[in-house]
Structure 1
Amino acid sequence: MDFGKTHFASQIGQPSIRYFWWTRFEAMAAWFIENEHRRRDDLQSIYAEINGMIFLQADQGPVKLTARADRLEYDKEGEWTIVDYKTGTVPSGSLIKKGVRNQLAVEGLIAFDGGFESLPAGEIRSLEYWQLSGKKSAPGEIKTPFADLFDIDEIRGRLERLANYFDRADTPYPSELDPTNVPPFKPYQHLSRSREWLYGDNADE
């Protein structure tokens, strides 16, 4: 809690910060600490913000796959639990099954192969979203939509097929592969100029 007070100190005088965000932070922190105490007895190590990398075997040569995990837990059985923190909406099971939201699956594959910064390879015990809202009724909640959807061979095969597809010279790179299911964050939107050609006057160009 002291770390939170330090970071909030410069703005705690603002009513919106003091009475809205700080109270939410207190609720989330209390939930987090209680949850941490429950889990630690079964763990060997916890790692935060860890970079990982493996190579996929594609037809045109190896393809580097990278990820950065919010939290990795290595338990006493030598298995990994991978955690992604969410302050917004958690991806649904249907989106995960379709492969639309696959960040945790990618991190699971990297951990299974031992690709996280000199950490050992190991079986995947759980892939979890920790949804942190700060609400009084449920300041935090652990969700495991991958429970029956994570298969190492299937994930690896799907990613290798995707790499092969985009390795082909005749494969286009559309800005929005599926306009009905656009990702919430598009870091390259300004380069694609998608809004210009979608909503501009020259839509037929």
Structure 2
Amino acid sequence: MRDPYSIFARHVLGLDPLDPLAAAPGVATRGSLVHDVFAEFAGRHPTDLPPDAAERLLNLAVNAFGDIEAEYPNLYAEWWPRYERMASAYLDWEAQRRPGLTRVYPEVSGRWVIPMGRETFTLRARADRIELRPDGTACIVDYKTGTPPSGKMIFSGFSPQLTLEAAMLMHGAFADLPAVKTTPDLLYVHASGGRKPFVPIPVKPPRGEERGVEAIVAEHAARLRGLVARFMTGEAAYTARPYPQYASKYGAYDHLARVLEWSLAGDESGE
């Protein structure tokens, strides 16, 4: 979850973080490679799987990982076995899902223009995968090579990615996709390549939660409108780390927000 100050720094001030000099590829690069391979495969075969699906997927992966193999053999020795484990599970998962789908849309961009009185606010997103079914229902899928958010995080509003993408799909905000009438199913897939290499995790209410996914999608869309309105009127400030327990240890804009200075100062009680 981004803090308001990082949004202000990047989208208002136009400041993008610089990439580290001479840094080796990290987990973000590995995640991008996995996303690219699965997206390319689904894009080439959006309806039925080909009989030689395993061979075609392998060829895409070999090309995608080629630069890592050539330039960072130590990383390749770690990443490729992980990929092979998840690729096998991915194909089994695809084979199970495809009979119930009419079409798969990978890496699809969305743009939802939300009226805000005399002005508008545009919410943009890029969904890893949207699945349409013959009955007009849909499922939004997000691959996570890292740990997916918990149901508690999602329902409390600290991880609204899929819920807001669901609202966008219901408003016809994704290119070339029709608006769906019912709330889409939401699915995270933990694609780690580890002992459990490819684990689908449906979004569902945490224990003790009375609201369902349909209610939380509507609630998050309404809360977004309210938050945007408060920023537009100046009622809300672009604060850094409003919820420290959910912030990353080091933020790209922490030095601009002088986080270290005010976090060391503590409060007036000296704590």
Q: Normalising by structure 1, what TM-score?
A: 0.85
Aligned to 1:166: 231
RMSD (Å) for aligned C-alpha atoms: 2.5
Aligned to 1:5: 62
Aligned to 2:187: 128
Distance in 2 (alpha carbons) for counterparts of 1:172 and 1:67? 24
Structure 2: segments with no counterpart, 5+ residues = 1-57, 206-211, 266-271
Trace 1:48-197 onto structure 2 (pairs within 5 A): 48-59=106-117, 61-122=119-180, 123-135=182-194, 137-146=195-204, 148-151=212-215, 152-182=217-247, 186=251, 188-189=253-254, 191-195=256-260, 197=262
* Structure with higher strand content: 1
Q: CA deviation at 1:54?
A: 1.3
**Does the 8 Å contact 1:71/1:84 carry over to 2?**
yes
Distance 1:21 1:62, change over 3 A: same
Distance in 1 (alpha carbons) for counterparts of 2:105 and 2:256? 35
Q: Deviation per CA, 1:166-204: give whole Å up to 9, x if none.
A: 22224211021112221579554454343455459xxxx
Percent of residue pairs bearing the same amino acid type: 31
Q: Deviation per CA, 1:71-105: give whole Å up to 9, x if none.
A: 11111111111011101111111111110100001
Trace 1:12-27 onto structure 2 (pairs within 5 A): 12=69, 14-18=73-77, 20-27=78-85
Q: CA deviation at 1:47?
A: 1.1
Distance 1:60 1:97, change over 3 A: farther
Moved over 4 A (4+): 183-191
Q: Which amino acid aligns with 1:108?
A: A
Structure 1: segments with no counterpart, 5+ residues = 201-205
Distance 1:100 1:183, change over 3 A: farther
Q: Normalising by structure 2, what TM-score?
A: 0.66
Q: Which amino acid aligns with 1:160?
A: R
Distance in 1 (alpha carbons) for counterparts of 2:249 and 2:154? 15
Aligned to 1:203: none
Q: CA deviation at 1:33?
A: 0.9
